[in-house]
Amino acid sequence: MYYQEPAKRRSGNRPRGTLVTKTMKVGRGTMKSYMITKLLPAIKAKWPKEDANKTIWIQQDNAPSHVPPNDAKFTAAVRETGLDIHNESASKFPRYELPRSRLLCISSINDR
């Protein structure tokens, strides 16, 4: 994740006050908030209606900042969507199984 703020000093490439993009640390709370407020609504909006009864797996890598599968707030937010969404770590899936089902992959590397 990232944010923008005005540059505090000038450099040879830009004047002072120019918006500069900076990265931010992503903890478990940030990741949970992002998944509940942005990811789940996006899945619900874009998931095909004819596949609404199929299981959706959100696969996360094993970073410590990721939301555990048994998190109460995330589970409650999933229930509100009305979809069958499961949140698992990458270690649960053998490599050969991944292409067989629809997966949403969330890596610890953020959007660039």
Residue 30 reports pLDDT greater than 50: yes
Is the CB of residue 74 less than 8 Å from the CB of residue 33?
Answer: no
Here the tokens at position 91 are 């270690």
Query: Who contacts 112 (Cβ-Cβ below 8 Å, separation ≥6)?
Result: none
Is residue 21 in some structural domain? no
| Percent over 70 (pLDDT), the chain | 79
Is residue 54 in some structural domain? yes
Is residue 10 in some structural domain? no
Cα(97)–Cα(56) distance, rounded to whole angstroms?
A: 14
Other C-beta atoms lying within 10 Å of the C-beta of residue 97? 11
Q: Which domain holds residue 72?
A: 27-106
Is residue 1 in some structural domain? no
Give me the pLDDT at residue 72, please.
92
Is residue 15 in some structural domain? no
Is residue 79 in some structural domain? yes
Is residue 3 in some structural domain? no
Q: Is the pTM for the entire model greater than 0.75?
A: no
pLDDT in tens, 40-67: 999 999 888 888 888 888 888 777 768 8
Is residue 84 in some structural domain? yes
Cα(81)–Cα(70) distance, rounded to whole angstroms?
A: 17
Task: Look at the chain and report how many structural domains it folds into.
Answer: 1
